[in-house]
A and B are shown apart, each in its own frame.
Chain A
Amino acid sequence: NAGVMQNPRHLVRRRGQEARLRCSPMKGHSHVYWYRQLPEEGLKFMVYLQKENIIDESGMPKERFSAEFPKEGPSILRIQQVVRGDSAAYFCASSHVAQRGGQNEQFFGPGTRLTVL
């Protein structure tokens, strides 16, 4: 039973390019969460998705960032026209049921480390 998979593990982009980060949730999980972690800081919530729906994107920057979780395939976090400040570790987590207010466990992937040159 594979855990949460993320790829690539490391991604290098030049300023102005696009970054696409992929997340495959655990088998049977239909809830996906994306987080960003800057060096020496805690994780910051970005977006919560269910299959084909964005439930909460209050933590995501309004410009250049988008996320999707299609009916088939992995969830994608897309960053357009990357800037140096986008350099961070991006973690994806999945859960079996909705996170809201409950004790439901979130299982984390290994993260994608994005470096913008």
Chain B
Amino acid sequence: KNQVEQSPQSLIILEGKNCTLQCNYTVSPFSNLRWYKQDTGRGPVSLTIMTFSENTKSNGRYTATLDADTKQSSLHITASQLSDSASYICVVSADSNYQLIWGAGTKLIIKP
């Protein structure tokens, strides 16, 4: 069964600190992995998209990694800001269909 699991479920850190969010998946055949940011009450916004051959991809203070062998990904946020408070969702695309498999997300709270 295609699944995406994320940890931790929620995380609270102080402004300026770094953090790393984890994603494990069992989606086959794998096509690509995406990280989305979803602010409360709004639609998801794409941060990164990585294919099988990509190990790391950055978007400003966000850096995503992918290990296709262990089927794990991480999202590292550097020098967190209050505006980083949101849910971060790992999404995996299978090559065989139109569906994206969504994780439940990690709720990140940045405190001043």
A and B: bona fide binding partners: yes
**Which A residues contact B (CB, under 8 angstroms)?**
4, 33, 35, 40-45, 48, 55-56, 58-59, 91, 93, 98-103, 105-106, 108-111
Question: Given A42-B89, A103-B49, A105-B46, are A56 and B102 neighbors across the interface (CB < 8 Å)?
Answer: no
0/1 string, B27-58, CB within 8 A of A gives 1: 00001100000000111111001010000000
Judge whether B31 and A101 touch: CB under 8 Å.
yes
Residues of chain A with a CB closer than 8 A to B95's CB: 101
B contacts with A, residue count (CB < 8 A): 24
With contacts A101-B94, A102-B32 known, what are 15 further pairs, Cβ within 8 A?
Answer: A4-B43, A41-B104, A48-B98, A48-B99, A58-B99, A59-B99, A91-B43, A101-B93, A101-B96, A101-B97, A103-B49, A103-B51, A106-B100, A108-B43, A111-B41
How many residue pairs, one in A and one in B, have C-beta atoms under 8 Å apart?
62
- Tell me whether chain A's interface is mostly helix, strand or loop, or mixed: loop
A-B contact pairs, 13 of them (CB 8 A): A33-B98, A42-B4, A42-B102, A45-B98, A58-B99, A101-B96, A102-B31, A103-B51, A105-B49, A106-B46, A108-B44, A110-B43, A111-B42
Within 8 A of A (CB), among B54-112: 89, 93-100, 102-105
Judge whether B104 and A42 touch: CB under 8 Å.
yes
Residues of chain A with a CB closer than 8 A to B51's CB: 103
A103 to B51, CA, bound (A): 8
Give the contacting residue for A45; candidates B4, B49, B96, B100; CB below 8 A.
Answer: B100
Give the contacting residue for B97; candidates A40, A100, A106; CB below 8 A.
Answer: A100
Residues of chain B with a CB closer than 8 A to A35's CB: 102
Residues of chain A with a CB closer than 8 A to B98's CB: 33, 45, 48, 55-56, 98-100
A11 to B56, CA, bound (A): 41
